[in-house]
């Protein structure tokens, strides 16, 4: 329980009142100084008038040496507020009349006198009109800085009313701070305390009412982004742990079953030799041996999935291996499926078991072939890629560094999200019974894990599937330190970019990366929303959109509509499918083909995004 004095609303109100009190005192003192200054000016003017008025009377009194009349004149002079003393002297300096103002000295009066006192003495020679020389002197001592009771009263009145005003302000501020700040924060804190951090479902914190667009709304957005990121990381870690557990279980089962099958095989071979003359029995034994061999193949795949050692590793040129596999892959496809191979330039070497990689490529090609019953295209690509910290945070099984990417993409039926979550599990298959063991992708996953790499599968129902394998770059010597530094200076800019994606986490990632590079960003969750924003804003320089989106408008349709609306608008698209596959789909449409050739592949790093954005902004869309 937070004590009253520690509450944020109380502290803010106390601070506001403290500042107001200090400012009130300062302003009151300032007003006092101005009043004293005005009083000084007025006093000097008044003294001049008094001297002009009193001098003739004082001259007559001094000439006559009339002490009684002199007393009356001095009494009139001394009545003026700022005059402290006054005297009339005769021609021989004899005192005709003299008076002092009695003072009651208090601590406050002493302080004010010390602060503002300004003593002055005026001496006037008294001349008589019938006498040609001075007949006496008039001496007056005044304090032009003496503060009148009226000024002091005004000062304390302003100060007291100022304090009362500040107390009222404190009460009002306390109420509003409690309502618009403390209460929403306590509500948010309560919601956060109810979160189940170990939940297997994504969790969202609701924004406090009437705070959707202010700083509290931004705070909730940030919290939700972190919750989503943590949920994704947790999901991946749980998946990795599950796959590892399945691997250990599968390895143990496969090892035991291998022993059992070995016993069965040996006994069947002994029986086969004994019944070689009995053709009927011999055929039964052969069928049983065939079944044992099939079981042995399946168990071998299970052992490959679960094993940790990589076998014999060598430095391999991925381009050469893929090129050699091209013929075999083509022969494994049906006639209605066409294959393409696009090799990147200067592809780095990798250190792997080359036989395992060949099996992986063949398995993925067969899976792609099975997914394209009505024909289609299989595209295989290679490229170099740097996996940065943002990728590693979401994929903790790999390290930051240089990787060689092998992409296998098809135009088949694709997979739903539910199927994709189970695709790597051993024995999981969507094929008809007897047409698959469900170990193909499991074997691919096992190879990638053993090779210290990463595996990504991107799929959309009715669109196709892309499988990306990331293998760590091999260096000439194991003792050479790996350079994992990104370019020190990424290309930046100050243009305005419209980001379109149906995944909020990806929008946040793109926004964060682009704003860090200096760009201004606007976001939309689908194509129709993006077109509305393009109609409202005429300062958007580039449209950055995902291709596969719900809502009846994909990235290509959005690009065409945006291009028609603003022909000079720069457009950059992103997808999990490969560039060559996208070029194949849109080959007859020149503008879309050109857009497809400049796609940003998901997942992308900040460096990939920065370079692609800057390239399109500087060079534009050529078609």
pLDDT tens sequence across 371-382: 898 889 999 999
Of the candidates 348, 326, 368, 361, the one whose C-alpha atom is nearest the C-alpha of residue 581 is 368
**Helices vs strands, H then E, count in the chain:** 18, 16
Q: Using DSSP bridges, classify how beta strands 95-100 and 83-89 pair: parallel, antiparallel or unpaired.
A: antiparallel
Percent of the chain with pLDDT over 70: 74
DSSP, collapsed to helix, strand or coil, labels residue 571 as strand
Q: Using DSSP bridges, classify how beta strands 600-601 and 570-575 pair: parallel, antiparallel or unpaired.
A: parallel
Residue 429 token pair: 């298959």
Average pLDDT over residues 388-399: 80
SS3 content of the chain, % helix, strand, coil (to 5): 55, 15, 30
Helix spans in 451-602 (H): 504-516, 527-536, 555-565, 579-585, 590-597
Of 181 and 559, which is predicted with more confidence?
A: 559
pLDDT of 487: 43
Our CA angle for 41, 42, 48, nearest 5°, is 95
Cα–chain-centroid distance for residue 190? 24
pLDDT of 148: 59
pLDDT of 252: 57
Helix (H) / strand (E) containing 548: none
E strand spans, 53-118: 83-89, 95-100
pLDDT of 575: 81
Q: Are 516 and 507 in contact (CB under 8 A)?
A: no
Average pLDDT over residues 348-355: 89
The span from the CA of 359 to the CA of 195, in Å, is 45
List CB contacts of 239: < 8 A, sequence separation 6 or more. Answer: 421, 424
> Other C-beta atoms within 10 Å of 519: how many?
23
Of 379 and 128, which is predicted with more confidence?
A: 379
pLDDT tens sequence across 490-535: 789 999 999 999 888 788 878 888 988 899 999 999 999 999 999 9
Terminal alpha carbon distance of the chain? 65
pLDDT of 479: 36
**pLDDT tier at 322 (50, 70, 90 boundaries)?**
very high
Q: Using DSSP bridges, classify how beta strands 376-387 and 401-410 pair: parallel, antiparallel or unpaired.
A: antiparallel
Of 40 and 517, which is predicted with more confidence?
A: 517
Of 587 and 127, which is predicted with more confidence?
A: 127
Given a cut of 90, whether residue 56 has pLDDT beyond it is no
Given a cut of 70, whether residue 343 has pLDDT beyond it is yes
Given a cut of 90, whether residue 360 has pLDDT beyond it is no
pLDDT tens sequence across 445-497: 888 888 889 998 888 888 899 999 999 999 864 433 344 344 446 789 999 99
The span from the CA of 303 to the CA of 425, in Å, is 14
Of 552 and 155, which is predicted with more confidence?
A: 552
Place of tokens 């804003």: 537
Q: Is the four-CA dihedral 187, 188, 189, 194 of positive or negative sign? A: positive
pLDDT tens sequence across 219-260: 777 777 767 666 666 666 665 555 565 555 555 565 566 667
pLDDT tens sequence across 64-94: 888 888 888 888 888 877 788 899 888 888 8
pLDDT tens sequence across 216-229: 767 777 777 767 66
Q: φ and ψ at 292, to 5 degrees?
A: -60, -40
Average pLDDT over residues 593-597: 82
pLDDT of 107: 54
pLDDT of 484: 39
Helix spans in 65-98 (H): 67-78
Mean pLDDT of the chain: 78
Residue 282 token pair: 């011999």
pLDDT tens sequence across 600-623: 877 676 778 888 999 999 987 765
**pLDDT tier at 109 (50, 70, 90 boundaries)?**
low
**pLDDT tier at 319 (50, 70, 90 boundaries)?**
very high
Q: Are 406 and 389 in contact (CB under 8 A)?
A: no
Percent of the chain with pLDDT over 90: 18
pLDDT tens sequence across 329-338: 888 788 889 9
Our CA angle for 571, 575, 579, nearest 5°, is 85
Given a cut of 70, whether residue 289 has pLDDT beyond it is yes
E strand spans, 369-512: 376-387, 401-410, 454-460, 464-472, 496-500
Helix spans in 178-214 (H): 183-193
């Amino acid at each position: 329980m937070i004590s009253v004095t520690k509450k944020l609303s109380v502290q803010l109100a106390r601070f506001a009142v403290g500042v107001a009190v200090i400012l009130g005192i300062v302003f009151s003192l300032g007003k006092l100084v101005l009043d004293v200054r005005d009083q000084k000016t007025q006093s000097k003017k008044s003294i001049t008038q008094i001297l002009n008025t009193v001098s003739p009377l004082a001259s007559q009194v001094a000439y006559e040496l009339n002490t009684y009349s002199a007393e009356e004149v001095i009494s009139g002079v001394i009545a003026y507020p700022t005059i402290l003393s006054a005297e009339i002297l005769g021609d021989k300096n004899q005192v005709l009349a003299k008076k002092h103002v009695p003072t009651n000295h208090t601590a406050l009066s002493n302080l004010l006198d010390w602060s503002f006192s300004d003593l002055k003495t005026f001496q006037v020679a008294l001349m008589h009109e019938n006498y040609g020389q001075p007949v006496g002197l008039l001496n007056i001592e005044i304090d032009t800085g003496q503060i009148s009771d009226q000024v002091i009263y005004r000062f304390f009145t302003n100060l007291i009313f100022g304090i009362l005003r500040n107390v009222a302000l404190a009460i009002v501020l306390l109420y509003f701070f409690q309502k618009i700040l403390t209460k929403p924060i306590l509500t948010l804190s309560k919601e956060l305390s109810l979160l189940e951090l170990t939940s297997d479902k994504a969790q969202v914190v609701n924004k406090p009412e009437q705070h959707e667009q202010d700083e509290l709304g931004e705070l909730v957005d940030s919290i939700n982004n972190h919750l989503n990121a943590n949920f994704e990381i947790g999901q991946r870690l749980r998946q990795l742990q599950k796959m590892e557990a399945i691997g250990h279980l599968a390895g143990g089962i496969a090892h035991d079953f291998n022993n059992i099958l070995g016993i069965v095989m040996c006994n069947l071979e002994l029986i086969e030799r004994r019944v070689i003359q009995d053709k009927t029995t011999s055929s039964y034994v052969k069928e049983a041996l065939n079944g044992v061999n099939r079981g042995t193949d399946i168990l071998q795949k299970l052992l490959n999935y679960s094993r940790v050692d990589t076998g014999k590793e060598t430095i391999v040129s991925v381009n050469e291996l893929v090129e050699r596999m091209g013929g075999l892959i083509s022969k494994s496809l049906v006639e209605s499926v066409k294959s393409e191979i696009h090799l990147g330039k200067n592809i780095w070497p990798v250190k792997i078991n080359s036989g395992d990689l060949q099996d992986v490529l063949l398995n993925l090609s067969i899976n792609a072939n099975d997914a394209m019953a009505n024909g289609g295209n299989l595209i295989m690509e290679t490229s170099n890629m740097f996996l940065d910290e943002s990728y590693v945070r979401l994929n903790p099984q790999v390290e930051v560094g240089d990787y060689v990417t092998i992409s296998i993409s098809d135009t088949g039926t694709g997979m739903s999200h539910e199927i994709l979550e189970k695709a790597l599990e051993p024995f999981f298959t969507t094929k008809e019974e007897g047409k698959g063991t469900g170990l193909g992708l499991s074997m691919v996953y096992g190879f990638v894990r053993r090779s210290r790499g990463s595996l990504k599968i991107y799929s959309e129902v009715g669109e196709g599937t892309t499988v990306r394998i990331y293998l760590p770059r091999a260096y000439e010597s194991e003792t050479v330190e790996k350079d994992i530094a990104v370019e020190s200076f990424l290309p930046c800019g100050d243009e305005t970019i419209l980001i379109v994606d149906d995944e909020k986490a990806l929008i946040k990632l793109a926004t964060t990366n682009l704003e860090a590079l200096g760009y201004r960003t606007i976001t939309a969750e689908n194509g129709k929303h993006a077109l509305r924003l393009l109609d409202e804003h005429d300062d958007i320089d580039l449209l950055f959109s995902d291709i596969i989106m719900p809502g009846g408008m994909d990235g290509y349709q959005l690009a065409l509509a945006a291009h028609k609306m603003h022909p000079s608008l720069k457009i950059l698209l992103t997808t999990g499918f490969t560039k060559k596959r996208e070029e194949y789909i849109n080959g007859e449409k020149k503008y879309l083909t050109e857009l497809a050739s400049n796609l940003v592949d998901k997942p992308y790093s900040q460096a990939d995004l920065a370079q692609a954005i800057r390239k399109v902004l500087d060079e534009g869309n050529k078609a």
